[in-house]
């Protein structure tokens, strides 16, 4: 029988298989109870792309998030019984703090010292000084750790600490730090540094993929007394002492009770990555309460609450005078857009500062697609020009600051493991305001009456916006 004669007989069978495929997968996706738009988008892609759509869903679909959530919850449970009494969840009178506590399990705490570090040069200097003074342990966690000059300096500082008897643990994201090679890591291993990889690349990824769930956090804890967190990775690209075009970014150096919560975040991540629960009383030294209210906000696909997203939206809604937002990737969801435009419509000073040239053209294009709507509501949009703006900070009124690793986009809010610090302090807010004003001095404001962009660019921006949930 020829192929032409066989095809008419096969068509009913193929149609039946295709219909059965759609019914089964549609039921599976609908039962996940995601947003209607997301559900319809997946159904449409699976219908139009029967094979490719299924592959995309397997690697990037929401079921991976649910499975990882279960595993992360087991990590938290294994540590709960070993926490010192000072780390039991507390309470606070502010609604934002209560929201953060409910969404993360991390209550507000305090800092006796809080330094805002501007740029990689100052940050690496402070890190090297703190690590040189370590006596018991160093816990280090990064998304990007490059084998360049900055990375070698950090590596050598860790080797020096381990050589003098400090217990050093290094947790790295397997994708963000994928350029590290055996020769670079050999001195660390020889010195006794424990190295762990977050979601390492393995063959079983073909069955249980984790490509889309990255650890974007930057955490360093020195002897349980000094902590660092923020947006700066370990790379020459962010070292303004080495490059005139280094990323513009912020980091934080902390002392006081809040460091205990950074410690817990690291221990949870370490247990999740290695399966080993670390227990040592020296992780929890006695510390004094401070004057700066600070709350650690870990967030990621292991929780359904999008803690950093919710806290930022709530803070914007509660603003009485001002909302200044700096972010390298601006792809806001409906709730975030509503919060920003509502604040502007109330007459508040709302400013969004983004890079004029991002390291992701697609993200920049998607961001531009939101400008007109924001500007029409009264939001002022500024594009930073000298270099890549990598700062992730929110300033509300004169006392509330949020600084960390999370961008203002769907990937940070829903897919990546992020960590930010919420702080209530007028002095810090004034310092952050001065940094933002310096950035504004290097910005070009996007005006409503600007010349219309070329049709090809407007079409590209609109198409990039369709990819917003994946950016």
| Sheet containing strand 137-142, strands side by side | 113-118, 250-255, 226-230, 219-222, 137-142, 167-173, 194-198
pLDDT digit string, tens, across residues 103-140: 999 999 999 999 999 999 999 999 999 999 999 999 99
pLDDT digit string, tens, across residues 423-461: 999 999 999 999 999 999 999 999 987 877 776 677 666
CATH number assigned to the domain comprising residue 175:
3.30.870.10
**Are 335 and 223 part of one and the same domain?**
no
- Which domain range does residue 436 map to? 307-470
pLDDT of residue 166: 98
Cβ atoms of 465 and 366 within 8 Å: the answer is yes
Number of folded domains in the chain?
Answer: 3
Q: What is the pTM of this model?
A: 0.87
**Are 217 and 315 part of one and the same domain?**
no
The secondary structure of 253-308, three-state, reads EEECCHHHHHHHHHHHHHHHHHCCCCCCHHHCCCCCCCCEEEEEEEECCCCCCCHH
What amino acid positions are annotated as catalytic residues?
Answer: 216, 218, 223, 390, 392, 397
Of residues 36 and 85, more confidence is placed in 36
Let me know if residue 92 belongs to a domain.
Answer: no
pLDDT digit string, tens, across residues 315-348: 999 999 999 999 999 999 899 999 999 999 999 9
Question: What is the average pLDDT score of the chain?
Answer: 86
**Are 275 and 323 part of one and the same domain?**
no
- Choosing from 239, 260, 288, the residue where a domain stops is 288
User: CA 182 → CA 82, 150, 202, 416, distances in Å?
Assistant: 35, 17, 17, 26
C-alpha to C-alpha distance for 248 and 384, rounded to whole angstroms:
10
Let me know if residue 98 belongs to a domain.
Answer: no
What does the pLDDT average to over 227-232? 98
pLDDT of residue 5: 59
- Choosing from 46, 61, 76, the residue where a domain stops is 61
Closest to 312 measured CA to CA, from 212, 383, 412? 412
Q: Token pair 């006596």 is at which residue?
A: 135
Torsion of CA 449, 453, 455, 460, to 10 degrees: -120
Of residues 91 and 394, more confidence is placed in 394
What does the pLDDT average to over 261-272? 95
């Amino acid at each position: 029988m020829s192929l032409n004669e066989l095809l008419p007989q096969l068509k009913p069978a193929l149609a039946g298989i295709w219909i059965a495929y759609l019914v089964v997968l549609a039921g599976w996706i609908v039962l996940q109870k995601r947003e209607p738009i997301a559900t319809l988008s997946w159904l449409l892609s699976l219908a139009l792309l029967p094979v490719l759509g299924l592959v995309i869903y397997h690697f990037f679909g929401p079921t991976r998030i649910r499975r990882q959530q279960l595993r992360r919850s087991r990590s938290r449970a294994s540590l709960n019984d070993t926490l010192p009494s000072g780390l039991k969840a507390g309470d606070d009178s502010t609604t934002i703090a209560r929201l953060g506590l409910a969404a993360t399990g991390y209550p507000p705490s305090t800092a006796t010292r809080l330094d805002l570090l501007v740029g990689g040069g100052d940050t690496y200097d402070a890190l090297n000084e703190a690590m040189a003074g370590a006596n018991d342990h160093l816990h280090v966690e990064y998304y990007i750790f490059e084998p360049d000059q900055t990375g070698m300096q950090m590596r050598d500082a860790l080797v020096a600490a381990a050589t003098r008897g400090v217990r050093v643990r290094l947790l790295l994201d397997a994708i963000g730090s994928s350029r590290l090679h055996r020769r670079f890591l050999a001195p660390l291993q020889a010195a006794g540094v424990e190295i762990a990889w977050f979601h390492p690349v393995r063959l079983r990824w073909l069955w249980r993929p984790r490509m889309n769930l990255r650890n974007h956090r930057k955490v360093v804890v020195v002897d349980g007394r000094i902590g660092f967190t923020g947006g700066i990775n370990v790379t020459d690209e962010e070292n303004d002492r080495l490059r005139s075009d280094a990323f513009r970014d912020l980091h934080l150096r902390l002392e006081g009770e809040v460091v205990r919560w950074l410690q817990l975040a690291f221990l949870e991540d370490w247990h999740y990555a290695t399966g080993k629960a670390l227990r040592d009383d020296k992780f929890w030294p006695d510390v004094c309460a401070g004057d700066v209210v600070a709350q650690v906000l870990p967030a990621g696909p292991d929780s359904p609450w999008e803690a950093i997203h919710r806290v930022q939206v709530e803070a914007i809604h509660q603003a009485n005078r001002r909302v200044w937002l700096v972010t390298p990737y601006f792809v806001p969801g409906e709730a975030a857009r509503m919060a920003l435009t509502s604040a502007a419509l109330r007459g508040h000073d709302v400013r969004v500062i983004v890079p004029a040239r991002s390291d992701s053209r697609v993200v920049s294009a998607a961001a531009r697609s939101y400008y007109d709507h924001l500007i029409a509501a009264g939001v002022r949009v500024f594009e930073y020009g000298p270099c890549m703006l990598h700062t992730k900070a929110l300033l509300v009124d004169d006392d509330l600051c949020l600084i960390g690793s999370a961008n203002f986009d769907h990937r940070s809010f829903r897919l990546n493991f992020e960590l930010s610090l919420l702080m209530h302090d007028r002095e810090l807010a004034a310092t952050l305001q001065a940094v933002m004003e310096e950035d504004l001095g290097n910005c070009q404001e996007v005006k409503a009456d600007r010349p219309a962009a070329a049709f090809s660019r407007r079409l590209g921006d609109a198409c990039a916006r369709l990819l917003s949930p994946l950016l």
